[in-house]
């Protein structure tokens, strides 16, 4: 029997690529996507993607979307309480695994493993440990396309917000910036690739500064 698995879905390229990899695993059945959204702005946390676009992504994967609403601002206690509630509900639905698109940050992986310990749900990390320069090239060569929705100007020039994630962008990144943005340099919205049955149509909106980050809005 395949293990019924939910995938943590940020709307970005790494979670999208994780879906592509998981679907090639004969022991795994991905049965849904899970996203946390900001109640105040009705957008994906950090990526600032509108929920309408998030739903269109899910439709393009042929998977149901589970939304976990979080207040803004959100304390760690509230976050963990709502996540615990969600984990309890999916355990009752027969979910056996929860997958994440983390690449190499040990502390984040350890946190996820600790939160799921004793729940009966196994954490999976399908793209863990892949060298990020190699991963970036593989994703781009596969036809994956993504739009940079958020840039941390303390780590990367604000002009990168709104650009497409492609080979030109990778070549333009400073040497200190991870090509997959794993250290929070940037976040993205994936709108095309082998994990989708169709391209998610997007229109570029305005670019704004909020809470110290540069956000490039997307419209459906």
Residue 89, C-beta contacts closer than 8 angstroms, at least 6 positions apart: none
Strand order in the sheet with 203-210: 186-192, 145-151, 213-219, 203-210
How much is the pTM? Answer: 0.96
- With a cut of 80, say whether residue 133 has pLDDT above it: yes
Could you give the domains of the chain?
3-124 (3.40.50.620), 144-219 (3.90.1490)
What angle do the packed helices 106-116 and 76-92 form, to 10 degrees? 50
Q: How far apart are CA 125 and CA 102, in angstroms?
A: 6
Q: How far apart are CA 219 and CA 105, in angstroms?
A: 31
Residues comprising the chain, all counted: 220
Give residue 46's pLDDT.
Answer: 77
Confidence grade of residue 92 (pLDDT, cut at 50, 70, 90)? confident
CA dihedral 83, 84, 86, 90 (to 10 degrees): 130
Query: Counting Cβ atoms within 10 Å, is residue 165 exposed (0-12), middle (13-18) or buried (19+)?
Result: buried
Give residue 196's pLDDT.
Answer: 98
Nearest one of 10, 189, 28, 165 to 100, comparing CA atoms: 10
């Amino acid at each position: 029997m395949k293990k019924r698995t939910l995938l943590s879905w940020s709307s970005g390229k790494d979670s999208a690529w994780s879906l592509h990899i998981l679907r090639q695993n004969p022991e795994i059945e991905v049965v849904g996507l899970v996203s946390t959204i900001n109640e105040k702005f009705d957008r994906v946390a950090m990526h600032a993607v509108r929920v309408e676009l998030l739903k269109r992504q899910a439709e393009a994967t042929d998977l149901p979307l589970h939304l976990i609403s979080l207040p803004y601002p959100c304390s760690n206690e509230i976050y963990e309480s709502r996540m615990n509630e969600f984990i309890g509900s999916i355990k009752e639905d027969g979910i056996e695994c929860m997958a994440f698109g983390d690449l190499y940050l040990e502390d984040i992986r350890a946190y996820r493993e600790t939160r799921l310990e004793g729940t009966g749900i196994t954490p999976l990390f399908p793209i863990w440990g892949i060298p990020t320069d190699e991963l970036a090239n593989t994703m781009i060569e596969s036809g994956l396309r993504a739009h940079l929705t958020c840039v941390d100007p303390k780590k990367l020039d604000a002009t990168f917000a709104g650009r497409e994630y492609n080979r030109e962008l990778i070549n333009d990144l400073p040497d200190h910036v991870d090509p997959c943005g794993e250290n929070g340099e940037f976040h993205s919205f994936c709108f095309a690739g082998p994990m989708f049955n169709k391209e998610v149509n997007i229109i570029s909106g305005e670019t704004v500064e909020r809470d110290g980050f540069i956000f490039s809005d997307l419209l459906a």
